[in-house]
Amino acid sequence: MEELIIRGGRPLAGELRPQGAKNSVLPLLAASLLFTKGCTLHNCPHLSDVESAVEILKALGCKVAWEGRSISVDAGDLREDEIPEALMRTMRSSILFLGPLMARLGRCRLSQPGGCVLGKRPIDLHLSGLKTLGAEVTQKDGSVTCGGTLTGGTIALSYPSVGATENLILAALGAVGTTTIYNAAKEPEVGDLIGFLTAGGAKIYGRGTSMLQVEGGLPEGASYEVMPDRMETATYLSAVAGCGGEVLVRGAVAGYLEPVIHCFALAGCRFREEEQLLALQAPKRLNSTYPVRTGPYPAFPTDAQAPFMAAMLRADGVTVIEENIFADRYRHVPALRALGGDIRTQGTVAVIHGVEHLRGTYLEATDLRGGAAMAVGALQAQGESHLCRIEHILRGYEDFPGKLSALGAEIEIHK
Ligand code: EPZ
């Protein structure tokens, strides 16, 4: 079993370039099913979740070529309407193939998606939106069957779900007529999906707003660059903020990270933002900041909550965090306590009393961001930490130990 060995307690310094965004490339790969003349995505990160998405495309009958960081998809021979259960279970994003399959074939069979265990993760908004467009949906023994011809309609989401917004945009392109989605998610990754689809000629209006209009009609061909991964950058900013030191992130879009930047600035970090460049200088010890509440974009992102918490373990004072998106997203807390962190949780709230020192220990990653947060904690701890179950981390971070080593961290992977 692979594990990370981390010898912490030293400041970090260096330069980084973000990978292509995991949470963008996955919907973009699902969207590739819609392009009538094929498409190529550039800046694709080498991650196990991306491999799973490629396997799903192949299982559906697509031709996929992955060369370096570019993935070309030809969905001309799409014939299968069923996603194999084993592939559905590999990640939550497997559900994003539902909308495109309905758009292309008017039918789809799948089982419940897998993914990080963060509490209940229903797919009711995806399914009710499809029903509004005319799909017949049957759920039995954990499997979902959808069928029917889609017609444009008005969908009002009761919550701005990222995945449901993406799925419904994709389905609506195969509908006859125009679909309006109210209370759509405004996450930059939704914008990236719209950018990709419109590059292929799709007509989608309202990018970046909570009201989207999607005209039925499939995109043709496109060559598109995946946006930089804001959660990967937030994680490395957390590592440097927690350990002290400085980092220059080339190719980052600071605007996507404002809530995280703002909190670390209040905690004593200095930032320089230029186009495609973000520099952070962190003091030896952070101050606590005002309460941080996660929420849909542009609020503080839930995916940055765990690494941020880890960065605040040694901050001078008390930091309060409120997790409002997922019911069970404090699974990293016991591990951060094992490192010496003083964290008390009640319901959605976590209270962190900053301690002066952390000490290395044995840790087990519980989920993607939680695992990364444990590494951020271990990097600040005196002595050696062993972090196992790192397959969770590698689902979302390309060359995780390599990028931290480039910042001067003592971290190695043991097979
Ligand atoms: C996306 O998940 C991201 N994943 C998640 O990233 C991220 O945490 C999340 O958005 C929120 O920003 C990808 O983009 C691949 P949601 P998604 O639908 O689409 C509830 C990471 O660490 N909900 O916006 O699944 C749901 O239970 C990950 O990279 C319903 O109730 O998130 C949750 O409480 C993990 N019914 C809330 O909405 C539904 O039908 C937000 O979920 C759908 C969602």
pTM over 0.75: yes
| Residue among 19, 23, 302 to mutate when testing ligand 1 (max atoms within 8 A of CB) | 23
Angle at 329 (CA atoms; ends 327, 335), nearest 5 degrees = 140
Q: Name which residue sits closest to atom 3 of ligand 1, judged by CA.
A: 23
Q: Name which residue sits closest to atom 38 of ligand 1, judged by CA.
A: 161
Index of the ligand 1 atom closest to the CA of residue 301: 12
Mean predicted lDDT score pLDDT of the chain: 94
Calculate mean pLDDT across residues 13-35. Answer: 97
The string of pLDDT tens digits covering residues 156-210 is 999 999 999 999 999 999 999 999 999 999 999 999 999 999 999 999 999 999 9
Kindly name the residue from 39, 116, 243, 269 that is annotated as catalytic. Answer: 116
- Assess whether pLDDT exceeds 90 at residue 84: no
The string of pLDDT tens digits covering residues 370-406 is 999 999 999 999 999 999 999 999 999 999 999 999 9
Residue 327 CA to its chain's centroid (Å):
17
How far apart are alpha carbons 74 and 58 in whole angstroms? 10
**What is the 4 CA–ligand 1 centroid distance (Å)?**
28
Query: Which residues sit with their C-beta closer than 6 Å to ligand 1?
Result: 23, 26, 92-93, 116, 120-126, 159, 161-164, 189, 231, 302-303, 325-326, 368-369, 396
How far apart are alpha carbons 397 and 391 in whole angstroms? 10
Instruction: Let me know if 269 is a catalytic residue.
Output: no
Strand 143-147's sheet: what is its strand order?
107-111, 143-147, 136-140
Question: 63 has which bridge partners?
Answer: 74
Q: Name which residue sits closest to atom 6 of ligand 1, judged by CA.
A: 303
What is the residue type of 292?
A: V
Helix axes 98-105, 162-172, angle to 10 degrees: 10
